């Protein structure tokens, strides 16, 4: 097995960046297919939305534990085994039973967690200082490639070949990445942590007791839930309320992926600006936009107005997400795998609970219903941000 030397492996870095968006590809590519899946599987909207929730929960919970395994047994072998996620993809493509799909989506979540957490930790293994800060600030930007590219292709695949083709595509993608990892990959971990259950639990406890870290995780979950609430509601509004096609859904998701990317770029550009000041302005603007989105009379709403508001709200969410994600990952370099796992795990557990609860309580029917979903998350963000600022001000010297 090849050992990757510090600051040396261009191909390994490229492969890591390609695999980091896999969690998004595994969900975003079939968002335009949700209405068709409900019809063909004879399932309700809520039942097909659960295919997203099962993935998010298993992906999130797995990340909470996979980091300790990666720090104890290395990144490479676990990543190779996890890339067999392609088997679950092909099983979904050939299963027309929603319960089998639920099971395979859980397998998806576990295997993708191992891959993504390992690849995030790879950068902490290989790089340090300003170079590490540069790469971690790129994570959310690279991750935004999934909501840009995946729904765009997914809409066309749905129209031409049906929903199953989405899962064939990500299955073959995983097989190709497996071959490339076997040829060019290697182990990046230099110092292995002894796998001792009590000490690992203590590390988790210390991380979560770090106030800035734990509250940052909540802000990450709230920001990410905005993307997921649209992902679970938008296709039904576009295809059932506005009577547009799955291709239109794909283009709309592509536009929102661009907004997320631009928000991430702005977050990187303003990374050295006063933290609380820039986030207070961002969340305030988001609140105003959401309130206007809800209050516009139904007669004046259409696909264009809904997407204009969603684009702006997602842009700000991407900005907030970028700032907190980079911050949380850089706090514990000596336990990079665990920190990466806790960050990603808590993020997706919070996202899955919030997003499914909101779309269950506020059915996807119109621009106003989507705006109400956003407003719930914005208000929670305001409260969390106020708490973070108060606690930090109290704990910091005058």
Q: What confidence score (pLDDT) does residue 398 get?
A: 40
pLDDT digits (tens, 9 = 90+) for 60-82: 888 777 877 787 777 888 888 88
Give me the percent of the chain exceeding a pLDDT of 90. Answer: 41
What pLDDT does residue 311 have?
A: 96
- pLDDT at 121 > cutoff 70: yes
What average pLDDT does the segment 15-42 reach? Answer: 90
Which of 168, 146, 329 is CA-nearest to residue 254? 146
Identify the residue whose tokens are 């071959």: 179
pLDDT of residue 9: 61
Q: What is the dihedral of CA 384, 385, 387, 388, to 10 degrees?
A: 120
Q: How far apart are CA 327 and CA 348, in angstroms?
A: 17
Distance CA 10, CA 13 (A): 5
Q: Has this prediction a pTM greater than 0.85? A: no
pLDDT in tens, 185-195: 777 777 766 76
Which residue's entry shows tokens 């796998």? 195
Domain ranges of the chain: 10-395
Residue 379 pLDDT class (50, 70, 90 cuts): very high
Residues 65 and 377: their CA atoms lie apart, in Å, by: 27
For the chain, give the number of residues. Answer: 398
pLDDT of 72: 76
Whole-number Å distance between alpha carbons of 317 and 155? 24
Does position 87 have pLDDT exceeding 80, yes or no? yes
**pLDDT per residue as tens digits for the range 193-239:** 676 667 667 777 777 777 778 888 888 999 989 998 999 999 999 99
Instruction: Write down the pLDDT at residue 63.
Output: 79
Render pLDDT for 130-156 as a digit per residue (tens, 0 to 9).
777 777 777 767 777 777 788 888 999
pLDDT, residue 84, reads 83
Is pLDDT larger for residue 391 or for residue 43?
A: 43
Q: What is the pLDDT of residue 73?
A: 78
Residues β-bridged to residue 187: 3
Higher pLDDT, 51 or 120: 51
Residue 266 tokens read as 């702005």
Local confidence band at 375 (pLDDT 50, 70, 90 cut-offs): very high
Residue 84 sits at φ, ψ, to 5 deg, of -70, 10
Q: Report the CATH architecture of 10-395.
A: Up-down Bundle (1.20)
Phi, psi torsion values for 289, nearest 5 degrees: -60, -40
């Amino acid at each position: 097995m090849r050992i990757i030397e510090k600051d040396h492996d261009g191909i390994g870095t490229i492969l890591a960046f390609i695999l980091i968006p896999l969690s998004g590809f595994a969900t975003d590519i079939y968002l335009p297919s949700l209405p068709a899946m409900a019809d063909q599987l004879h399932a309700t909207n809520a039942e097909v939305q659960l295919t997203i929730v099962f993935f998010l929960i298993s992906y999130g919970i797995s990340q909470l534990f996979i980091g300790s395994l990666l720090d104890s047994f290395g990144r490479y072998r676990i990543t190779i085994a996890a890339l067999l996620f392609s088997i679950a993809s092909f099983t979904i493509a050939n299963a027309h039973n929603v319960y089998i799909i639920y099971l395979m989506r859980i397998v998806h979540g576990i295997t993708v967690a191992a891959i993504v957490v390992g690849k995030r930790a790879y950068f902490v293994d290989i790089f340090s200082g300003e170079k590490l800060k540069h790469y971690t600030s790129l994570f959310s930007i690279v991750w935004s490639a999934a909501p840009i590219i995946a729904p765009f292709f997914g809409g066309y695949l749905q129209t031409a070949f049906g929903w199953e083709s989405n899962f064939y595509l990500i299955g073959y993608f995983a097989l190709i990445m497996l071959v490339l990892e076997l040829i060019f990959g290697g182990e990046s971990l230099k110092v292995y942590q002894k796998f001792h259950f009590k000490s690992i639990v203590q590390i988790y406890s210390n991380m979560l007791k770090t106030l800035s870290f734990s509250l940052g995780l909540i802000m990450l979950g709230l920001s990410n839930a905005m993307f997921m609430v649209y992902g679970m509601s938008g296709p039904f509004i576009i295809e059932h309320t506005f009577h547009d096609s799955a291709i239109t859904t794909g283009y709309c998701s592509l536009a929102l992926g661009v907004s997320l990317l631009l928000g991430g770029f702005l977050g990187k550009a303003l990374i050295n600006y006063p933290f609380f000041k820039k986030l207070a302005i961002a969340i305030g603007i988001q609140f105003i936009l959401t309130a206007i989105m809800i209050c516009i009379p139904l007669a004046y709403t259409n696909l264009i107005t809904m997407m204009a508001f969603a684009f702006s709200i997602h842009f700000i969410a991407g900005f907030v997400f970028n700032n907190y994600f980079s911050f949380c990952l850089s706090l514990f370099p000596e336990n990079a795998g665990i920190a990466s796992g806790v960050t990603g795990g808590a993020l997706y557990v919070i996202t899955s609970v919030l997003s499914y609860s909101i779309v269950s309580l506020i059915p996807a029917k119109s621009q106003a219903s989507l705006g109400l979903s956003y407003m719930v998350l914005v208000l929670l963000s305001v409260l969390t941000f106020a708490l973070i600022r108060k606690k930090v001000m109290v704990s910091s010297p005058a």
